[in-house]
């Protein structure tokens, strides 16, 4: 039977078992919207800004093992989506974005709402396509889903001119796809795995450092098993939180710029470092030259060969699917009679525990003023550590990462790579759609939340009972912190004047709003919010405006050169 291009797109999405499409209509996608209207297998979520459509699809993907889908119109629809696409790209999140385009004959004519979407998005997608014939729609969408989810995942954009959505052809969804130019590896190299295991067994001061790849590769279980088997200390990056249970004794917290003292010291002074799906990013190891001063052997497992030996030289590179490689390593360790020498390991642990005793995350908390760290701690208690937690970007993001202890993967959603303010609420939407009965909290700041505040309207329409935890310090806090430390306290444009009354604003959108001024009221307010199972509750916590995030490694400094508290300034 002959189907129109628009019907084919919708059929393809159905074939891919897509539950939700996050989107916003416009001229170039009218036929697609008409087809969505005629069916009820896929639910369309009407956001209030295309940036949020991509963020929500991205949040959906992060909190599940599925591909997120966004649909936008040509021109401004596509350009609004770019921040969302770049955010997903930087964190390797599988999202398929379908964008409308002006009719084929109008392309290049400076037509109304025409932009070169494929050109604009090229540097921030894993791949993109401009569909030129209706016959190409089905194979292209098949490829898009395959590319987005396989290998190192990432966003894939499919740009479809309006006339192609009208043209007709036979529909046949390809069962499988093979591309001669694309064949991601899966199994790691046997010899390298053997070498790695041997190094681990001989290590005197071993350390495991896992990143977002361990979470995205669904390898948390294997990572935990291997770490337990070896008995080594482990740290997980901002993107890797939940890849190993934070409440376990072997866990040292997050490394890097705002990492714990014990994680950073162990990263620096270990003699064998096992890096799992992490990329030695500048926010993690600080100055690579300083990091290289201490001799250590590095084993690096990653799906993407270009991540290996990019910023630091690696001794044993292993390219492969993390889950497969870790499985092999577990088998090799179990089969071997050798174990790391107990006394040596105990000596190392003694050192690590000494570092841990610095208790670098302690904070002064007295009187009625609300400490932002305290709010996150209480959030963790009230939700039994079991919520999906999203954040925006800034101090509140770091406090959420430091004080909410994630025991499970895919529970922590934030923009680690691009650092996009505004992701928090749409991420929470994506997570809440994917997990309807589960508690979802968005830890945000008064500045970040205003970057996608319009989505409160979407939340009302779809009755999403998200809890917004606004750590309101009246400042672009992270900017203020840097200005305090590096710019002589000249707070240039970092104070937020004329803030709205957030509780009233939430009410105006039809939600529940609470303002909390006293430390004694924090827990009660959180409990009340989570008891309201059907309401979105906006909790506007008036927190200490001068609080800073510690520990802190300044840009360009080494991991061991930490500022541990205000006294070190």
Partner 1 sequence: MRHVISLLIENESGALSRVSGLFSARGYNIESLTVAPTEDPSLSRMTIVTTGSDEIVEQITKQLNKLVDVVKVVDISESAHIERELLLVKVRATGKDREEIKRTSDIFRGHIIDVTDASYVIELTGTQNKLDSFLGALDASLILETVRSGICGIGRGDRVLKV
Ligand X SMILES: Cc1ncc(C[n+]2csc(CCOP(=O)(O)OP(=O)(O)O)c2C)c(N)n1
| Catalytic residue list | 50, 112-113, 162, 478
421 binds, among partner 1, ligand X, none (CB under 5 to 8 A by kind): ligand X
The neighbour count for residue 174, using CB atoms within 10 Å, is 14
394 binds, among partner 1, ligand X, none (CB under 5 to 8 A by kind): ligand X
448 binds, among ligand X, partner 1, none (CB under 5 to 8 A by kind): ligand X
423 contact partners, CB below 8 Å, separation of at least 6: 55, 58, 59, 87, 390, 392, 393, 413, 414, 415, 452
Q: Give the x/- contact pattern for partner 1 in 135-174, rule: CB under 8 A.
A: ------------x---------------------------
In the bound state with ligand X, the residue whose beta carbon lies nearer, of 71 and 476, is: 476
How many residues sit in the footprint of partner 1 (CB under 8 A)? Answer: 17
Residue 342 DSSP symbol: H
Q: Residue 194 in contact with residue 338, Cβ under 8 Å?
A: no
Residue 118 beta carbon to partner 1: minimum distance, rounded to whole angstroms? 6
Residue 212 beta carbon to ligand X: minimum distance, rounded to whole angstroms? 18
Q: Which residue in 477, 513, 551, 558 binds ligand X (CB under 6 A)?
A: 477
* Position 309 contacts partner 1 (CB under 8 A): yes
486 binds, among ligand X, partner 1, none (CB under 5 to 8 A by kind): none
Q: Residue 506 in contact with residue 538, Cβ under 8 Å?
A: yes
Alpha-carbon torsion 516, 517, 519, 520, what sign? negative
Q: Which stretch binds ligand X (CB under 6 A): 145-153, 340-348, 387-395, 508-516?
A: 387-395
* Position 476 contacts ligand X (CB under 6 A): yes
Tell how far CA 291 is from the center of its chain.
Answer: 25
Alpha-carbon Rg of the chain, whole angstroms? 24
Q: Which residue in 471, 505, 536, 553 binds ligand X (CB under 6 A)?
A: 471
Q: Which residue in 163, 304, 315, 528 binds partner 1 (CB under 8 A)?
A: 304
Q: Rounded to 5, what percent of the chain is helix, strand, coil? A: 40, 20, 40
Separation of alpha carbons 430 and 411, rounded Å: 12
522 contact partners, CB below 8 Å, separation of at least 6: 370, 374, 375, 378, 516, 541
In the bound state with ligand X, the residue whose beta carbon lies nearer, of 253 and 477, is: 477
Residue 488 beta carbon to partner 1: minimum distance, rounded to whole angstroms? 32
* Position 394 contacts ligand X (CB under 6 A): yes
Site for partner 1 in 87-126 (CB under 8 A): 118-119, 122-123, 126
Q: Which stretch binds partner 1 (CB under 8 A): 4-12, 175-183, 416-424, 439-447?
A: 175-183
Q: Which two tokens stand for residue 81?
A: 């989506």
Q: Residue 416 in contact with residue 238, Cβ under 8 Å?
A: yes
* Position 395 contacts ligand X (CB under 6 A): yes
Cis amide leading into 551 (omega within 30)? yes
Residue 270 beta carbon to ligand X: minimum distance, rounded to whole angstroms? 31
3-state SS string for 50-112? HHHHHHHHHHHHHHCCCCEEEEECCCHHHHHHHHHHHHHHHCCCCEEEEEEECCHHHCCCCCC
Q: Which two tokens stand for residue 450?
A: 């205003």
Q: Give the x/- contact pattern for ligand X in 418-437, rule: CB under 6 A.
A: -xxx----------------
Q: Which stretch binds ligand X (CB under 6 A): 221-229, 231-239, 255-263, 446-454?
A: 446-454
Residue 418 beta carbon to partner 1: minimum distance, rounded to whole angstroms? 15
Separation of alpha carbons 27 and 379, rounded Å: 44
Residue 49 beta carbon to partner 1: minimum distance, rounded to whole angstroms? 27
In the bound state with ligand X, the residue whose beta carbon lies nearer, of 139 and 419, is: 419
* Position 297 contacts ligand X (CB under 6 A): no
Separation of alpha carbons 435 and 63, rounded Å: 8
* Position 182 contacts partner 1 (CB under 8 A): yes
Q: Which two tokens stand for residue 433?
A: 């759609």
Q: Which two tokens stand for residue 175?
A: 């069962």
Separation of alpha carbons 181 and 199, rounded Å: 35
Q: Which residue in 75, 445, 465, 558 binds ligand X (CB under 6 A)?
A: 445
* Position 181 contacts partner 1 (CB under 8 A): yes
Separation of alpha carbons 464 and 470, rounded Å: 17
Alpha helices in 122-260 (DSSP H): 137-149, 162-166, 190-202, 212-216, 220-230
Q: Which stretch binds ligand X (CB under 6 A): 124-132, 265-273, 475-483, 533-541?
A: 475-483
Q: Which two tokens stand for residue 72?
A: 């936008």
Q: Which stretch binds ligand X (CB under 6 A): 132-140, 321-329, 394-402, 533-541?
A: 394-402
Q: Residue 430 in contact with residue 60, Cβ under 8 Å?
A: yes
In the bound state with partner 1, the residue whose beta carbon lies nearer, of 154 and 422, is: 154
Q: Which stretch binds ligand X (CB under 6 A): 98-106, 156-164, 226-234, 469-477?
A: 469-477
515 binds, among ligand X, partner 1, none (CB under 5 to 8 A by kind): none
Q: What are phi and psi of 64, to 5 degrees?
A: -130, -170
* Position 429 contacts partner 1 (CB under 8 A): no
Separation of alpha carbons 519 and 366, rounded Å: 9
Phi-psi region of 488 (alpha: psi -120 to 50; beta: other; left: phi over 0): left
Residue 470 beta carbon to ligand X: minimum distance, rounded to whole angstroms? 9
* Position 82 contacts partner 1 (CB under 8 A): no
Residue 492 DSSP symbol: T
Q: Residue 22 in contact with residue 69, Cβ under 8 Å?
A: yes
In the bound state with ligand X, the residue whose beta carbon lies nearer, of 244 and 541, is: 541
What residues line the site for ligand X (CB under 6 A)?
Answer: 392-396, 419-421, 445-448, 471, 473, 475-479
What residues line the site for partner 1 (CB under 8 A)?
Answer: 118-119, 122-123, 126-127, 130, 147, 179-182, 304-306, 309-310
């Amino acid at each position: 039977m002959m189907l129109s291009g628009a019907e084919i797109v919708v059929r393809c999405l159905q074939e891919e078992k897509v539950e939700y499409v996050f989107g916003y209509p416009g001229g170039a996608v009218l036929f697609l919207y008409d087809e969505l209207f005629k069916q009820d297998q896929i639910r369309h979520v009407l956001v209030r800004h295309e940036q949020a459509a991509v963020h929500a699809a991205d949040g959906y993907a992060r909190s599940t093992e599925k591909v997120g889908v966004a649909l936008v119109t040509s021109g401004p629809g596509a350009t609004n989506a770019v921040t969302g696409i770049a955010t997903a790209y930087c964190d390797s999140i599988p999202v398929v974005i379908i964008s409308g385009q002006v009719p084929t004959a109008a392309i290049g004519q400076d037509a109304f709402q025409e932009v070169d979407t494929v050109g604009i998005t090229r540097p921030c997608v894993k791949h993109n396509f401009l569909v030129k014939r209706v016959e190409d729609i089905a194979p292209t969408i098949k490829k898009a889903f395959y590319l987005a989810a396989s290998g190192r995942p990432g966003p894939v954009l499919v740009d479809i001119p309006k006339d192609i959505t009208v043209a007709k052809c036979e529909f046949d969804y390809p069962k499988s796809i093979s591309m001669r130019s694309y064949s991601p590896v899966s199994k790691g190299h046997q010899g390298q795995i053997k070498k790695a295991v041997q190094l681990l067994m001989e290590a005197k001061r071993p350390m495991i450092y896992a990143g977002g790849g361990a979470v995205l590769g669904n390898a948390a279980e294997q990572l935990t098993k291997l770490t337990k088997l070896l008995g080594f200390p482990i740290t997980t990056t901002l993107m890797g939180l939940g890849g190993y249970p934070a409440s376990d004794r072997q866990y040292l917290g997050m490394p890097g710029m705002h990492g714990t003292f014990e994680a950073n010291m162990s990263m620096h002074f270990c003699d064998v470092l096992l890096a799992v799906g992490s990329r030695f990013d500048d926010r993690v190891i600080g100055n690579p030259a300083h990091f290289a001063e201490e001799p250590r052997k590095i084993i690096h497992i990653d799906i993407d060969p270009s991540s290996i030996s990019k910023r630091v030289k690696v001794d044993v590179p292993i390219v492969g699917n993390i889950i497969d490689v870790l499985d092999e390593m577990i088998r090799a360790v179990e089969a071997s009679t050798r174990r790391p020498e107990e006394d040596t390991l105990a000596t190392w642990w003694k050192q690590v525990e000494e570092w841990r005793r610095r208790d670098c995350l302690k904070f002064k908390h007295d009187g009625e003023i609300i400490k932002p760290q305290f709010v996150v701690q209480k959030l963790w208690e009230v939700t039994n550590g079991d919520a999906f937690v999203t954040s925006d970007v800034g101090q509140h993001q770091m406090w959420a990462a430091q004080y909410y202890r994630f025991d499970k993967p895919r529970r922590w959603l934030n923009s680690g790579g691009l650092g996009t303010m505004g992701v928090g609420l749409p991420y929470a939407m994506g997570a809440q759609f994917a997990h309807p009965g589960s508690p979802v909290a968005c830890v945000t700041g008064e500045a970040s939340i205003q970057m996608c505040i319009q989505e409160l309207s979407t939340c009302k329409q779809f009755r999403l009972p998200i809890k917004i935890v606004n750590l309101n310090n009246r400042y672009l806090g992270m900017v203020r912190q840097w200005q305090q430390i590096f710019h002589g306290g000249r707070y240039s444009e970092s104070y937020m004047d004329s803030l709205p009354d957030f509780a009233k604003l939430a009410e105006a959108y039809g939600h529940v709003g609470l303002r909390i001024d006293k430390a004694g009221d924090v827990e009660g307010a959180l409990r009340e919010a989570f008891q309201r199972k059907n309401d979105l509750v906006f909790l506007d916590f008036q927190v200490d405006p001068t609080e800073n995030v510690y520990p802190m490694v300044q840009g360009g400094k080494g991991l061991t050169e930490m500022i541990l508290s205000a006294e070190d300034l």
